[in-house]
Amino acid sequence: MNDDDLTRRIRRLEDRVAINELLVRYSIACDVRDFEALGDCFSDDGSFEAVAGKVEGREALVDYYRGRFKLYGPTVHIPEANTIDFDDEDDDRATGTVIARSEIMMDGAFLVSAHYYRDEYARCADGAWRLRTRDNEFIYGMPLSELPTHPWREPRRRWPGVDPVAADVPEGTQTWQAFEAEIDRR
């Protein structure tokens, strides 16, 4: 191993730590309603595929979060585990998947969700890693009181005030669909 290889490997480790810290900063900023810090988690051209659709640009993202959080009481956003894949062609780009949970107080209910964030990260001009895109794919989201008895084949995105819809994960993945095609569930 030469010095260039060692330098690159150390930088990748530092980048990995920085991206992991970004994920925690995002969660904390959401929970304490620190909109300046939340905006700083995104690149200037950042986007979020949210419950209400795609939101683009840092200012629009902050406005979206301000409006969304007006509907909620206290929240807890928990990034549980993640992958990071660096772009071999561009040292300032990476992608990742975050397995996360959220707890939300809303309309007299205690809501829980499990979801994947599908992220693109960019190292910005100031050297900081930020979210360039964030897409949210739900495994479930519903009042905690419904979770223990809810039939898993029924729509698992059950937010107050909106019609239930199917979950994104795992049913939307090709591997799940292939697995289900093999099983006779009569």
Mean pLDDT, residues 139-161 taken together: 92
Nearest to 130 by CA among 31, 12, 38, 60: 38
Task: Determine which helix (DSSP H) or strand (DSSP E) holds 8, and give its type and residue range.
Answer: helix 3-32
Nearest to 64 by CA among 5, 134, 119, 115: 134
Mean pLDDT, residues 56-61 taken together: 97
Q: pLDDT of 6-37, one tens digit each? A: 999 999 999 999 999 999 999 999 999 999 99
Domain ranges of the chain: 3-182
Token code pair at residue 12? 């990748």
Q: What angle do CA 39, 40, 46 make, to 5 degrees?
A: 65
CB burial readout 107-132, b (16+ within 10 A) else e: eebebbbbbbbbbbbbbbeeeebbbb
Mean pLDDT, residues 142-163 taken together: 92
Residue 186 confidence (pLDDT) above 60: no
If pLDDT is split at 50, 70 and 90, which confidence band does 159 have?
Answer: confident
Q: pLDDT of 68-127, one tens digit each? A: 999 999 999 999 999 999 999 999 999 999 999 999 999 889 999 999 999 999 999 999
**3-182: CATH, from 3.10.450.50, 3.40.50.1010, 3.40.50.300, 3.40.50.920:** 3.10.450.50
Q: pLDDT of 39-53, one tens digit each? A: 999 999 999 997 778
Mean pLDDT, residues 46-71 taken together: 93
